[in-house]
Amino acid sequence: MPYGDGMTARARSEERRAEIVRAALAVIAERGYRGASMAAVAERVGLTQQGLLHHFPTKDALLVAVLRERDRWDAVPDSRWRVDLLASLVEYNATRPGVVQTFSALLGESVTEGHPAREYFTERYTRVRAGMAAALRTEYGDRLPNGLTPERTAPLLVAVMDGLQYQWLLDPGSVDMPGAFRDFLRLLGEPVG
């Protein structure tokens, strides 16, 4: 049996890469993408910087892997989603400040010029808004309380989630992120169902 631990070479390699991505997530949370150094990521997994470059030939390649990991981690909502599941997602996020911090830092950086994650976030938000609108429509119908449409409510939903994350990260003791998000959902009223 190869490697003596039941792993093929390929599986072992993927495990190593996953370990690196996890370390990159942590380093980006601490210093942002521009502030994150390949050497810092390498050290965290017990490699030299050049050993790291063997797995990810450039810094951008590592970022791509990080963003891909996020896509696996939280699936984009679509019409099958229920809005109250979002509340659970926010609650779960409140237990994972590290991950939240990583992507909040990346989102903030991404609005700067030529940032490698800019296109990713632009497309992601387009998809997320569309998915949210679809979810709202299946749950509330074409008309939300207060005369809003699902399409006009979706950006607000996304904005509240993101904005609360920044306030919560800066001052966790002063902001009840899940509670505030539930407050917002209450503003939307009860679904017709």
Q: Using CB under 8 A as the criterion, what x/- string covers residues 40-69 for binding its own copies?
A: ------------------------------
**Does position 151 bind its own copies by CB under 8 A?**
no
**Region near DNA per CB under 7 A, out of 30-38, 105-113, 120-128, 143-151:** 30-38
Rounded distance, CA 138 to CA 193, Å? 9
Beta carbons of 77 and 129 less than 8 angstroms apart: no
Shortest CB 158 distance to its own copies, Å: 6
List the one residue from 53, 107, 156, 158 that touches DNA (CB under 7 A).
53
For residue 177, what are its two tokens? 């992120």
From the list 20, 21, 25, 29, which residue makes contact with its own copies (rule: CB under 8 A)?
A: 29
What lies within 8 Å, CB to CB, of 183 at 6+ separation is none
Interface with its own copies, residue 105, by CB under 8 A: yes
User: Are 157 and 86 within 8 A, CB to CB?
Assistant: yes
Out of DNA, its own copies, none, which partner does residue 49 contact, by CB within 5 to 8 A per kind?
DNA
Task: Collect all residues with Cβ–Cβ distance below 8 Å to 104 and sequence separation of at least 6.
Answer: 162, 165, 166, 169
DSSP assignment string, 114-171? T-TTHHHHHHHHHHHHHHHHHHHHHHH-S--GGG--HHHHHHHHHHHHHHHHHHHHH-
Binding site for DNA (CB under 7 A): 2-4, 8-9, 12-13, 16, 36-40, 42, 46-51, 53-55, 57-60
- Residues at the contact surface with its own copies, assessed by CB under 8 A: 29-32, 34-35, 101, 104-113, 118, 121-122, 125-126, 129, 146-148, 152-153, 155-156, 158-164, 166-167, 169-171, 174-175, 179-180, 183-184, 186-189
